[in-house]
Amino acid sequence: MKKFKKIIPLALAVTLTCASLPMIANADSSKVVTIGTNLSDDQKKSMYEYFGTSKDSVETIEVTNQDERKYMEGIASEAQIGHKTYSCSYVEPTTSGGIQVKVANLTFVTSSMIASTLTTSGVENCNVVAASPIEVSGTGALTGIMMAYETASGEKLDEGQKEAATEELVTTGELADDIGQDKATDLMNDVKENVIANDISDEDKIADTVDEKAKDLDVNLTDEQKDKIVSLMEKISQYDYDVKSLQQTLNNLEGKSEGFFTKLVNNIKGFFGGNNSNSGGIISQTKDDILGSDVVSNSTLDDIKDKVQNADTEGWWDKVVNFFKGLTGSDSDSSDSNSSDDSSSN
């Protein structure tokens, strides 16, 4: 009976807590699709189908190679830029939850790379799907995403920040070729967060931060790699960022509990409300089979789940249990359970 009594206040606490939280997806926001101009008509049609929408339902922007060159020339190689544009994106501004990204058929960049570089561009909250009907590097995808975000949100991003974001994406991708995608992303995120949170702009102090974070990750950088990172962080340090918003996205990418449990609570809200369609927004609407059985895909939402479930410090179920204990503020569970056990044994 005592166990049953404890369920009632717990359910009420969950309901009240969830009711007070904002939904991650913003139902009133615009959604914008960008289409690579060099795709065939059939390929363009398949991308709308993959995104789970239609040309009549969303605003569309065609992105050209010239659009990509505006930010990538002088940063990326000619081979990376290419002469044709195939990358597409689907962007949904949100009111909270940080930046969540899914990519498909992009071989040079990952969902985590795009999410992190979007924080550099000045974006704080949005859901993004970046994809192509054929495998491409994806270096130009960021250009289309930023164009779509500006159109969908009505917010003009700073040109300098957009250039810095593009440089960060290319630098991270090149670094990933040598040390791996995860370590490259973690290194750039750790350095960026430290530089912004501690307002570091001095070149020598940034260099010290790079050395420290590289040592923490057991990464050996060449002088050229270190100089590129330092130069990039000097540019980023010139701009004002909402530190809490940036940290939320970076925490999500690292699989830290704050980001994961925000989503857990929103899922609970969907359970009580009978509608969980807003979990992941447009990311949850994608149809992978449209791009074929061998599509290469990854998302920040999957990364969060994997990292939390594989955490060494605390089991996934323990995290869930402790989270709900925190909701009730109860420290008396053990004594209650002992008394229950005693009574049941009589």
Say what the pLDDT of residue 321 is: 55
Under 8 Å between Cβ of 281 and 127: yes
pLDDT tens, the chain, 346 aa long: 544 444 444 444 444 444 333 334 443 458 999 999 999 999 999 999 999 999 999 999 999 999 999 989 888 888 888 899 999 999 999 998 899 999 999 998 999 999 999 999 999 999 999 999 999 988 889 999 999 999 999 999 999 999 999 999 999 999 999 999 999 999 999 999 999 999 999 999 999 999 999 999 999 999 999 999 999 999 999 999 988 888 888 887 766 544 445 555 455 444 444 333 345 789 999 999 999 988 989 998 875 555 555 554 445 555 555 555 555 454 444 444 444 444 344 4
pTM: 0.75
Say what the pLDDT of residue 123 is: 95
The domains of the chain are located at 17-302
Say what the pLDDT of residue 97 is: 84
Of 103, 100, 114, give the one whose Cα is nearest residue 136.
Answer: 103
Say what the pLDDT of residue 324 is: 54
How many angstroms separate the CA atoms of 312 and 49, rounded? 40
Say what the pLDDT of residue 147 is: 97
Of 252, 279, 255, give the one whose Cα is nearest residue 265.
Answer: 279
Say what the pLDDT of residue 323 is: 54
Under 8 Å between Cβ of 144 and 88: yes
Under 8 Å between Cβ of 126 and 54: no
Q: At what angle do helices 223-236 and 181-197 cross, to 10 degrees?
A: 40
Say what the pLDDT of residue 11 is: 44
9-13 contacts, C-beta under 8 A, 24 or more apart: 9/328, 10/324, 10/327, 10/328, 13/327, 13/328
Query: What is the 3 state secondary structure string of 145-196?
Result: HHHHHHHHHCCCCCHHHHHHHHHHHHHHHHHHHHHCHHHHHHHHHHHHHHHH
Say what the pLDDT of residue 136 is: 93
Say what the pLDDT of residue 33 is: 98
